Structure 1
Amino acid sequence: MSIYKFNVKTIDQKEISLSEYQGKVLLIVNTASECGLASQLEGLQELHQNYQDKGFSVLGFPSNQFMNQEPLEGQEIAAFCATQYGVEFPLFDKIMVNGETAHPLYHYLVNETKGKKIKWNYTKFLIGRDGEIIERFGSLTTPEKIEDSIVEALSTSV
């Protein structure tokens, strides 16, 4: 089992398979533009930019599940992230990350990390080149603190 079996919608509503990212190291993050942690978008973009040529990508999944901190939709989200934080990494359709209505990808991510529900925005999942979860990081773990784990994952072949 890996993340490659899941389909997701891009921010502009195109359905894609996560198998398009096969062989890459990924950092999957639930984002929200009005969250006090939104400044992490800058650090996430920096990681994406610094390591994309080595086979790394950040994948952002906006969610309005925590205190309605993502009121924007689709291209509004993309424009905000690009304008305010220089985000160029892929953003996907706004989803739920907890509960019965959670996106199947997030059901999988939560179940594979001891079933602990997502507590807040900017929870991060580091995915290896094989599509399996390497590590889960809480909301307060800044992108800079994950860099060593990303470098290590990038040095591992499939």
Structure 2
Amino acid sequence: MTLRRREVLGWLAGACALPATAGGVAAQATTTASSFTFTRAGGGRMPLADYRGRPVLIVNTATNCGFAGQFASLEQLWQRYRARGLMLIAVPSNDFGGQEPLEGAAIAEAARQTHGATYAFAEKSVVRGPDAHPFYRWAAAQRPSETPRWNFHKYLIGRSGELLGGYSSITDPIGPQLVRAIGQELQAG
């Protein structure tokens, strides 16, 4: 009789868990990058839904990082592909080595003056851990092995809002790996 009771309790526990699990998977599967909004450096909203139908490159940045030279490479990428539809968003973060001491529009201005950056800048955001911006928590759930480990990590979002890939800090913004992925997505449209 004890065995029968355990079987019934196990079956009930499994049956009760199924709808929650199935619903959670369905909800996560239908969420895309277009569901998220950043705040623009200096104020205002930057909904990723505004860029639906375009590939979007999102890069966590820091003005005092050894990789800060990538601001200029990102500008080259932006100039090369923006007319074809690429959107590029810098998301300043102080998560790695405390290398972003500036706030708000001062970050974008420093990147413009020092590296010629003219692409969009979001407000400084947390990009890792439980306090991360919702976009970064979503991206980490989508691609747990491709999360930011340092400044200048890059996420490429496809035209339909899916996360196409994560690229480490050492990936050159104008190197063949990222350029090829962006080119493929631009041709897909």
TM-score, normalised relative to structure 2: 0.80
- Within the alignment, does 1:93 sit opposite 2:87 as a pair? no
Correspondence 1:20 to 2:47: no
Distance 2:162 2:133 in 1: 17
**Higher relative contact order, chain-length normalized (CA < 8 Å, sep 6+):** 1
Q: More deviation in 145-154 or 58-67?
A: 145-154
User: Do the aligned partners of 2:147 and 2:166 also contact (CA within 8 Å) in 1?
Assistant: no
Instruction: Tell me which residue corresponds to 1:6.
Output: 36
Identity of aligned pairs, percent? 34
Is the partner of 1:28 in helix, strand or coil?
Answer: strand
3-state SS, counterpart of residue 174 of structure 2: helix
SS at match of 2:144: coil
Gaps of 5+ in 1: none
The structure that is helix-richer by fraction is 2
1:150 pairs with 178, 182, 187, which one? 182
Shift of 1:57: 1.5
Q: Paired residues, what number?
A: 157
Cα separation, 1, equivalents of 2:91 and 2:165: 18
Which structure 1 residue ranges, 4+ long, deviate > 6 Å from structure 2?
Answer: none
In structure 2, list runs of 5 or more residues that go unmatched: 1-30
Q: Distance in 2 between matches of 1:154 and 1:117?
A: 24
Structure 1 segment 76-155 matched on structure 2, within 5 A: 76-114=106-144, 117-145=147-175, 146-155=178-187
* Equivalent residues of 2:156, 2:166 under 8 A apart: yes
SS at match of 1:30: strand
